[in-house]
Amino acid sequence: MMPWRDDAVFLLRSLSLRIFVAHFVVAQVVFARFAADKRMKILITGASGQIGTDLIRTLHRRGHTLVATDVREPEQLDDGVQWQELDVTERSHVSEVIAAAQPDAVFHLAAILSARGEANPQRTYEINQAGTYYVLESCREHGAGQVIFTSSIAAYGPGFGPGLPDPTPEEVALHPTTMYGVTKVGGELLCEYYHQRYGLDVRGVRFPGLISAELPGGGTSDYALFMYTEGIAKGYYEAFCRADTRIPLMYMPDGVRALIELCNAPRDQLSRCIYNLAAFSPDASEIADAVTRAVGDVTIEFAPDPVRQAILDSWPRTVDDHLARKEWGWKPTYDLESMTADLVPKIRELLAARS
C-alpha cells in the first residue's frame, strides 16, 4: 500500500473513533439527564401562588405525580393533579398530609411576600417561619426524600457599614429589613439545621424578583411586572420606585427550571443547601424603556413610595451565583429583551381572558 493510502486509512479510522466517542458522550449526557429527571411523587405547598402555578404545569408535563396544596385551590389545575387544602400553620394537618402523600420530594413555596407581609407581620411569621418548621419536621418524621425551599434576596439587608458588596455572594451577614426577609433567613437556617442534624436532603435558592405572566402578587419587586400589566391595560403606570432602582430580576420560566435542575442535581456535587440565583439586573428606567418599545403608546412615571423604596434600597443590586453555575450547571436563558418579547403577548392574553 502506498504511504499516502496508509495515512488516509489512519485518518479515516481516527475520525471514525472520534465520531463514536462523541456519540457515546452525547448518549451518556442524555441518559444522565433522563435518569436525573426520573418520575417522582411531588407535594407542593403554596400551589396557588406565583411560582406554584407554573411549577405544577411544568412538572405535570414531565410526567410526575403531583399533590398540590394551599389554602385555596388554583384557578386552573391540570387533570390528574391531586388537590389537597392545607394551611401550613396547622402543624397536625401538615403532618397528616405529608404522611398520607409519602412524597419523594416536597417543594415548599407557601409564603407571604414582602410588601403584603409588612401589612400583617404576625401572620407572615406564622406562615413563613412556623410553616417552614412544620413542613421540615413532618418531612423528617415521615421520610420525605427531599425538600426544595424557596428563599429570596430579601434575606439580605444593608447591615452596618459600607453596605452590601456588588455583586453580593451567599456568605455575607444577613440583616433583612422586612418580616418576609427575617423569615427567609430563619427558613434558610432551619434548612441547614435539618440537613446537618438529621441528614434531610434540603436544597434551596435565593430568588431574585420574579416576573411572570400573572397579575402581581404582593412583592416589593412588583413594580417591574406592573409596568407590563398596567402599561398594556391602561397605557400608563406610576411606579412606586425611583427610576434608578436596580435589583436582580428573573423571568419565571428560568426560575421554575432552576428549581427542577436543583432537585435533579446529585447531592454529592452540592457544597451547601442554599444558592444565589441571578439572571439580569436592569434599573427601573431600563424596564420602562423595554415596555415602551414592545407595547408602543405607554407612559411610565416614577413616584417613589418611601416604605417600599427603602425595602428596595436594602436589597443587592446584583448577586454572585457562580456556585450554582459551577456545582449544578445553572445558567439563565432570558435577559430583559428576550423576556419582554415572550411576556408581552402572554400578558395581553391574560388581560383579555380576565376582561
Residues in Cβ contact with 352 at an 8 Å cutoff, skipping those fewer than 6 apart: none
180 a catalytic residue: yes
Q: Where are the alpha helices (DSSP H) in 175-283?
A: 179-198, 222-234, 252-264
Residues 89, 132 contacting (CB under 8 angstroms)? no
Instruction: Identify which of 93, 49, 44, 94 has the alpha carbon closest to the alpha carbon of residue 64.
Output: 44
Residues in Cβ contact with 230 at an 8 Å cutoff, skipping those fewer than 6 apart: 236, 237
User: Beta-carbon neighbour count of residue 122 at 10 Å?
Assistant: 8
The H or E element spanning position 68 is strand 65-70
Q: Which residues pair with 205 in a beta bridge?
A: 150, 275
Q: How far apart are CA 66 and CA 85, in angstroms?
A: 14
Query: Cis peptide before 316, with omega less than 30 degrees from 0?
Result: no
The H or E element spanning position 351 is helix 336-354
Q: Which of 125, 134, 156, 180 is catalytic?
A: 180
Place of cell 417613589: 304
Place of cell 389537597: 84
Q: How far apart are CA 53 and CA 78, in angstroms?
A: 10
Q: DSSP state, 126?
A: I
Q: DSSP state, 240?
A: S
Phi/psi for 32 (5° steps) reads -65, -40
Active site residues: 180
